[in-house]
């Protein structure tokens, strides 16, 4: 049976580290509890590991099996501490956002072998997914190196995983867009249709939310000109080709920040950045990411 360590008994240093990373430790704790409820419903036991002969204490190395950027190791540590309580020791954890090579050990966990085996997959599920997001983001960052464009994430995140996925984007060197529907306004095509045009939609949102950042999506240069005349300072260029984006940058002449969006792929990153846009938003960083291959090997 795993320890299921109460939140109040978790190490303060671990919780403080998660908070400094911009994560909510209590929310993460709840996610970890629910993850174990999936694996061990109704307080059940790991029927495979518990059938093994007594294994005593052991050491396991969490290692990278491919090159990339790691994230979520602090969450993995939280998983082991929750499952193993005071009987676990975590050491050698590399810094979040570190670039690693295949074969590198990113953290070491010591404790009862049976508990290590029970907690292993839950810890790796968090860290592998988040490292996948960080690694994918790092590829975009590398592709944009030397340009003025930055890669943005979107709200196309797994439900309840938004804070974690956006954290992983930061670990990979990317920039977070809005976190919710209330911290920033983004006027999209259906809002424009409802309001009767880009400028009426922009002005309605701005009047309803004084002081809030308002970005408006446009699909052609006429909409862009109208918005600039109305004083809009953040514009999303939706599904435009490179020539049109280049003209949009010329027309804007620094009066607004421009974000390119819509089906953008890594092989087009330099082409899009060369137009002069400020940001490139990529939903695939979070909605279509390939998990990073991490594994735990007992010594």
Burial per residue of 69-97, b for 16 or more beta-carbon CB atoms within 10 angstroms, e otherwise: bbbbbbbbbbbbbbbbbeebebeebbebb
Q: Catalytic annotation on 121?
A: yes
Catalytic residue among 77, 217, 234, 259: 217
State the Cα–Cα distance between residues 28 and 75, nearest whole angstrom: 8
Please measure the distance between the N-terminal and C-terminal CA atoms of the chain and give it in whole angstroms: 23
Give CA–CA dist 222/210, Å, rounded: 26
Dihedral over alpha carbons 7, 72, 74, 163 (to 10 degrees): -50
Catalytic residue among 104, 238, 247, 293: 238
DSSP 283: T
Catalytic, 217? Answer yes
66 is catalytic: no
**Residue 178 bears catalytic tag:** no
How many CB atoms are located within 10 Å of the residue 221 CB? 16
Indicate which residue of 45, 121, 213, 250 is catalytic. 121
List the catalytic residue out of 156, 225, 255, 268. Answer: 156
188 classed as catalytic: yes
Q: Which of 188, 213, 250, 290 is catalytic?
A: 188
Rounded-to-integer distance, Cα 285 and Cα 131, Å: 11
Provide the annotated active-site residues. 121, 156, 188, 217, 238
């Amino acid at each position: 049976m795993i320890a299921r360590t109460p939140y109040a008994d978790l190490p303060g240093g671990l919780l403080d580290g998660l908070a400094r990373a911009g994560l909510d430790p209590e929310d993460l704790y709840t996610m970890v509890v629910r993850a174990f409820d999936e694996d061990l419903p109704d307080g059940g036991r790991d029927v495979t590991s518990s059938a093994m002969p007594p294994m005593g204490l052991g050491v396991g190395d969490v290692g990278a099996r491919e090159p990339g950027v790691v994230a979520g190791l602090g969450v993995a540590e939280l998983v082991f501490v929750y499952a193993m309580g005071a009987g676990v020791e975590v050491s050698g954890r590399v810094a979040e956002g570190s670039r690693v090579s295949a074969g590198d050990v990113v953290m070491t966990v010591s404790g009862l072998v049976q508990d290590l085996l029970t907690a292993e997959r839950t810890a790796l599920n968090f860290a592998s997914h988040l490292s996948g997001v960080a690694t994918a983001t790092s590829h975009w960052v590398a592709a944009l190196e030397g340009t003025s464009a930055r890669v943005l994430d979107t709200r196309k995140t797994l439900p309840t995983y938004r804070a974690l996925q956006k954290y992983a984007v930061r670990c990979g060197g990317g920039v977070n867009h809005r976190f919710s529907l209330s911290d920033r306004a983004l006027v999209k095509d259906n809002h424009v249709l409802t309001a009767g045009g880009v400028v009426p939609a922009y002005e309605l949102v701005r009047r309803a939310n004084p002081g809030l950042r308002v970005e408006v999506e446009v699909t052609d240069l006429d909409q862009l000109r109208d918005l600039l005349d109305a004083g809009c300072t953040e514009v999303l260029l939706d599904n435009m080709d490179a020539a049109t984006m280049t003209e949009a940058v010329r027309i804007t002449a620094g009066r607004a920040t421009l974000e390119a969006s819509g089906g953008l792929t890594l092989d087009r990153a330099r082409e899009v950045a060369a137009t002069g846009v400020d940001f490139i938003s990529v939903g695939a960083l979070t909605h279509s990411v390939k998990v990073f291959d991490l594994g735990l090997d007992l010594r």
